[in-house]
């Protein structure tokens, strides 16, 4: 029988590609989402249009694994609406987890974030280091992690701390560094870098979704970093500029975020990344050249740019 997977926030950037991938792998996939960014999901996805904050989750009995992706997914968005951040994050989680316990799901996988480490001096930012979350986004993710861990006696709990994800999805995010540079390179013929010496750990979206399947199959609890390349923002820009053949402009930034990540723990468990950031650039170039137009040209992109966060 097909394993039933519920993906909360499954219509977003990562979720859209994850639903496609898991359906191809013969899982029975249901997506619960508010569909803020539209619906680009494959027809075979079972759809529940709902806001996590008001959902009673009485249908959970059928599910083997719950993957939780729904969030206000970046620092500036959380800054616009701190209340919605805490409501969608830690506050909605209690009701969800209680129902997961009641209906005896087998596994809960949560998308935390590598950014919750804050700014670290250490070269190897492993899961053993303490957390220094800076923004509401990171702080609320940290609280979610603690709440989820307290349920590990009832079902397997896996907490993933992904790096900045990059590459193509039919719901394309343009507020993440590499995707934004590719968008600028193709549509504006010029990449604008704010600062440039900041380090960003990157993760190709195809490895992100492969890591979800890896954990659906593994009978294990734990917290795992997922990010395999630590690069300076200007290095990323140079590679994009080379592949798209465009110019780079450097401006000042007020963005203090600079972090790196070490993912030896997930490697020791047997996961092997197959893709890199250059694959993401080429995949995006191909999509733009084939006429793909990002639907949201992020509705908050202007605001984010004004704040000099991206």
Ligand X SMILES: NC(=O)c1ccc[n+]([C@@H]2O[C@H](COP(=O)([O-])OP(=O)(O)OC[C@H]3O[C@@H](n4cnc5c(N)ncnc54)[C@H](O)[C@@H]3O)[C@@H](O)[C@H]2O)c1
Binding residue for ligand X, selected from 173, 200, 210, 260, defined by CB under 6 A: 173
Pick 45 or 164: Cβ nearer ligand X: 164
Residue 190 touches ligand X, criterion: CB under 6 A = no
CA distances to 141, 241, 276, 280 from 201, in Å: 18, 19, 11, 14
Binding residue for ligand X, selected from 25, 51, 106, 285, defined by CB under 6 A: 51
Pick 53 or 272: Cβ nearer ligand X: 53
Q: Interface residues for ligand X in 64-103 (CB under 6 A)?
A: 69-71, 73, 88
Q: What are the structure tokens assigned to 157, written together?
A: 């709990």
Number of residues located near ligand X, criterion CB under 6 A: 27
Beta strands in the chain (DSSP E): 4-8, 28-33, 46-49, 65-68, 107-111, 156-162, 164-166, 190-194, 199-204, 222-226, 229-232, 247-251
Residue 15 touches ligand X, criterion: CB under 6 A = yes
Looking up tokens 């969800």, which residue turns up? 96
Q: How far apart are CA 105 and CA 151, in angstroms?
A: 12
**Beta bridge pairs of residue 225:** 161
Interface segment toward ligand X; rule CB under 6 A; list 28-36, 211-219, 258-266, 268-276: 28-36
Pick 34 or 192: Cβ nearer ligand X: 34
Residue 176 touches ligand X, criterion: CB under 6 A = yes
**8 Å CB contact between 138 and 114:** no
Q: Show the CA angle centred on residue 66, arms to residues 50 and 113, nearest 5°.
A: 90
Residue 228 touches ligand X, criterion: CB under 6 A = no
Interface segment toward ligand X; rule CB under 6 A; list 171-179, 274-282, 285-293, 295-303: 171-179
Pick 85 or 184: Cβ nearer ligand X: 85
- How many C-beta atoms lie closer than 10 Å to residue 83's C-beta? 9
Pick 250 or 303: Cβ nearer ligand X: 303
Nearest to 244 by CA among 182, 287, 166: 182
Residue 113 touches ligand X, criterion: CB under 6 A = yes
Separation of CA 221 from chain center: 20
- What minimum distance in Å lies between the beta carbon of 247 and ligand X? 26
Element (H, E) at 284: helix 277-289
Residue 7 touches ligand X, criterion: CB under 6 A = no
Residue 168 touches ligand X, criterion: CB under 6 A = no
Binding residue for ligand X, selected from 21, 27, 37, 63, defined by CB under 6 A: 37
Binding residue for ligand X, selected from 33, 127, 207, 283, defined by CB under 6 A: 33
Q: What are the structure tokens assigned to 289, written together?
A: 């050249």
Q: What are the structure tokens assigned to 219, written together?
A: 């009978």
- What minimum distance in Å lies between the beta carbon of 293 and ligand X? 17
Q: Is 225 helix (H, G, I), strand (E, B) or coil?
A: strand
Pick 203 or 237: Cβ nearer ligand X: 203
Nearest to 303 by CA among 173, 140, 175, 134: 175
Separation of CA 252 from chain center: 27
- What minimum distance in Å lies between the beta carbon of 194 and ligand X? 17
- What minimum distance in Å lies between the beta carbon of 34 and ligand X? 4
Binding residues vs ligand X (CB under 6 A): 9, 11-15, 33-37, 51-53, 69-71, 73, 88, 111, 113, 162, 164-165, 171, 173, 176
């Amino acid at each position: 029988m097909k394993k039933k997977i519920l993906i909360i926030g499954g219509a977003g950037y990562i979720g859209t590609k994850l639903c496609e991938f898991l359906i191809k792998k013969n899982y029975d996939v249901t997506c619960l989402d508010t569909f803020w960014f539209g619906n680009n999901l494959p027809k075979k996805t079972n759809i529940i249009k709902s806001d996590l904050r008001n959902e009673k989750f009485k249908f959970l009995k059928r599910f083997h694994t719950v993957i939780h992706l729904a969030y206000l997914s970046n620092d500036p968005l959380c800054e616009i609406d701190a209340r919605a951040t805490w409501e969608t994050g830690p506050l909605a989680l209690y009701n969800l987890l209680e129902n997961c316990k009641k209906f005896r799901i087998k596994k809960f996988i949560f998308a935390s974030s590598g950014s919750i480490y804050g700014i670290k001096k250490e070269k190897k930012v492993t899961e053993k280091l303490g957390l220094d979350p800076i923004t509401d986004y990171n702080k609320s993710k940290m609280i979610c992690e603690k709440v989820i861990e307290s349920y590990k006696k009832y079902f397997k709990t896996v907490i993933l701390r992904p790096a900045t994800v990059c590459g193509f999805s039919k719901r394309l995010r343009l507020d993440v560094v590499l995707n934004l540079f590719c968008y600028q390179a193709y549509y504006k013929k010029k990449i604008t870098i704010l600062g440039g010496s900041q380090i960003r750990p990157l993760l190709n979206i195809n490895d992100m979704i492969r890591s979800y399947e890896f954990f659906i199959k593994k009978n294990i609890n734990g917290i795992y970093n997922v990010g395999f390349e630590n690069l300076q923002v200007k290095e990323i820009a140079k590679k994009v500029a080379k592949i798209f053949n465009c110019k780079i402009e450097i401006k000042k930034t007020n963005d203090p975020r600079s972090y790196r990540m070490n993912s030896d723990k997930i490697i020791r468990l047997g996961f092997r990344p197959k893709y890199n950031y250059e694959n993401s650039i080429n995949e995006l170039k191909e999509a733009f050249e084939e006429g793909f137009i990002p639907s949201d040209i992020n509705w908050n992109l202007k605001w984010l740019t004004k704040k000099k966060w991206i």
